Amino acid sequence: MPKAKLTKRVVEAARPGAKDVILWDTELRGFGCKITPKGRRVYFVYYRTPDGQQRRPKIGDHNPMTCEEARELARQWLSKARIGSDVSANRKADRNAPTMDDLAERYLSEHAEPKKKPRSVSSDRTLLRLHILPALGRTRVSSVTRADVARLHYAMRKTPGAANRTIALLSKMFNLAEKWELRPDGSNPCRHIEKNPERKFERYLTAKEFAQLGAALAEAERTQTESPSVITAIRLLAFTGCRLSEILTLRWESIDWERSRLNLPDSKTGQKTVYLGAPALEVLNRMDQEPQNPYVIMGRNPSTHLVNIRKPWLRIRARAGLKDVRIHDLRHSFASFGAGAGLSLPMIGKMLGHTQAQTTQRYAHLASDPLKRAAETVASSINAAMKGNGEDVPPLPNLRRR
């Protein structure tokens, strides 16, 4: 095997043979160039691992890589090999390292699908398909940096809510990547990515607006312009503070008539008990139970429940003059009336099925209404006493007298 200082002229002057021709560099031991029978010229480096195994990884092809560039890279690799690093094995591991596409597939199959609600899994799939994988799908999990995440977050700045949910999903995926030993502990690149401020729209119905809604429902019931299932669903939403999905999927078997409550086996937060007031019980008592249908809010097809009430709700709220009210605002309004009646935040959270106290905290400002009424009562009593309307009220001294 010829030996010479490898240069552009030496490499290009070598002629292919019936077998590979190897040119060894005299300047850097272990650095060489292989000329294949078809004339392809490939730079490589030769070394042994600490346990004596031989390695000969490819550095690159001659043109576009120059001989000098290949020699410098070979020098770096040989230096790493001398301290025990196996460059060839590391490169192979890098080539086989899981990408974000792989992590997404594992996240869905091992975490989301077994542990999350179908609706949440569907939302995760949407974020992955529309945002995460187009930007990071081919990137190795171990190579994603905070700059990559920040770039994605900024690219979604026109949809701040979706951007925040995307970062939350990515953060969970990287936490799992650490657990699965795909990244070092504490290396989550989503740390210190500041969430976008979001304007939360919360609409609370007043007593007058509830009267308007009640009148619209009564009219729809009288004229039969909406189905009994739709009208019942809306009334139950108002009287219980339940989520829409909880009412639409309510089964007769979940109603505990003796204890006046609903035993929901699978709500957003797991099993849930909903206590029923007299108005809610009256609504349920007025519904006819179909022997072949297990659902309270029946759909058009036998044995099914109503899937969506969006269009009927738009018609009913228009009749009630409440065009800016969403169906979920009935849940907020249920909580606001509870706060206005002096119920504690933990009690309201229990009624709504909140598992975290901060979720109920949004209604804290409404709880000041009872205090306001109490202050007004006390001040009015004092005012009446000061005006002499109370009993045994001593006269006030004339402060202008000297």
Domain with 119 in it: what CATH number?
Answer: 1.10.150
* In the predicted structure, residue 118 carries a pLDDT above the cut 90: no
Q: Which of 70, 96, 122 is where one domain is finished?
A: 96
* Residue 89 domain flag: yes
Q: Where are the alpha helices (DSSP H) in 185-277?
A: 207-223, 228-240, 244-248
- pLDDT, residue 358, reads 61
Which CATH number goes with the domain that contains 344? 1.10.443.10
**If DSSP codes are grouped into helix, strand and coil, which group holds residue 4?**
strand
Least confidently predicted of 28-32, 123-127, 345-349: 345-349
> What's the Cα-to-Cα distance from 157 to each of 86, 153, 170, 201, 401, rounded to whole Å?
43, 7, 16, 19, 70
**Number of compact structural domains in the chain:** 3
211 and 360 co-located in one domain: yes
Handedness of CA 120, 125, 131, 132 (dihedral sign): positive
- pLDDT, residue 117, reads 85
155 and 276 co-located in one domain: no
- CA–CA gap between residue 139 and residue 133 (Å, rounded): 9
Judge if pTM exceeds 0.75. Answer: no
Strands 21-25 and 3-4 turn out to be: parallel
* Residue 222 domain flag: yes
Q: Are 191 and 146 in contact (CB under 8 A)?
A: yes
Which CATH number goes with the domain that contains 46? 3.30.160.390
* Residue 195 domain flag: no
- pLDDT, residue 396, reads 43
- pLDDT, residue 85, reads 83
**Number of C-beta neighbours around residue 134 at 10 A:** 11
Edge-to-edge strands, sheet with 58-61: 3-4, 21-25, 31-35, 41-45, 58-61
* Residue 187 domain flag: no
Q: Measured at the alpha carbon of residue 147, what is the angle toward residues 155 and 181, in degrees to the nearest 5?
A: 115
Q: Which of 68, 96, 124 is where one domain is finished?
A: 96
229 and 150 co-located in one domain: no
| Mean confidence (pLDDT) of the chain | 85
Single-letter code of the amino acid located at 243: R
What are 63-91's pLDDT values in tens digits?
989 999 999 999 998 988 888 888 877 77
40 and 60 co-located in one domain: yes
53 and 160 co-located in one domain: no
* Residue 119 domain flag: yes
Single-letter code of the amino acid located at 108: L
252 and 346 co-located in one domain: yes
- pLDDT, residue 401, reads 40
115 and 229 co-located in one domain: no
150 and 36 co-located in one domain: no
Q: Which of 50, 68, 96 is where one domain is finished?
A: 96
* Tokens 């249908």 found at: 293
- For residue 230, the Cα-to-chain-centroid distance in whole angstroms is 30
- CA–CA gap between residue 60 and residue 34 (Å, rounded): 11
CA atoms within 13 A on the CB side of 349: 15
Instruction: Give 306's DSSP letter.
Output: -
- pLDDT, residue 23, reads 95
Handedness of CA 267, 270, 271, 274 (dihedral sign): negative
User: Mean pLDDT, to the nearest integer, of 230-258?
Assistant: 91
- CA–CA gap between residue 318 and residue 305 (Å, rounded): 25
In the chain, how long is the greatest CA-to-CA distance? 128
- Residues 6 or more apart in contact with residue 379 via CB below 8 angstroms: none
52 and 134 co-located in one domain: no
Please give the sequence-ordered ranges of beta strands (E in DSSP) within 121-224, or none if there are none.
none
> What's the Cα-to-Cα distance from 65 to each of 39, 61, 210, 212, 314, rounded to whole Å?
16, 6, 77, 78, 67
* Residue 129 domain flag: yes
Residue 172 structure tokens? 């969970």
> What's the Cα-to-Cα distance from 397 to each of 151, 382, 385, 394, 400, rounded to whole Å?
73, 17, 14, 9, 9
* In the predicted structure, residue 304 carries a pLDDT above the cut 80: yes
What are 26-62's pLDDT values in tens digits?
999 999 999 999 999 999 999 988 888 898 999 999 9
Q: What φ, ψ does residue 398 adopt, rounded to 5°?
A: -80, 105
- CA–CA gap between residue 223 and residue 398 (Å, rounded): 68
* Residue 274 domain flag: yes
- CA–CA gap between residue 14 and residue 36 (Å, rounded): 11
Strands 261-267 and 255-256 turn out to be: antiparallel
Peptide bond into 302 cis (omega under 30): no
227 and 359 co-located in one domain: yes
- pLDDT, residue 399, reads 42
User: Mean pLDDT, to the nearest integer, of 375-384?
Assistant: 67
312 and 264 co-located in one domain: yes
- CA–CA gap between residue 129 and residue 344 (Å, rounded): 42
260 and 322 co-located in one domain: yes
Residue 246 structure tokens? 């909880």
Higher pLDDT, 148 or 303: 148
What are 310-320's pLDDT values in tens digits?
999 999 999 99
* Tokens 């790493």 found at: 80
For the chain, what percent of residues have pLDDT higher than 70?
82
- Domain span at 46: 3-96
* Residue 63 domain flag: yes
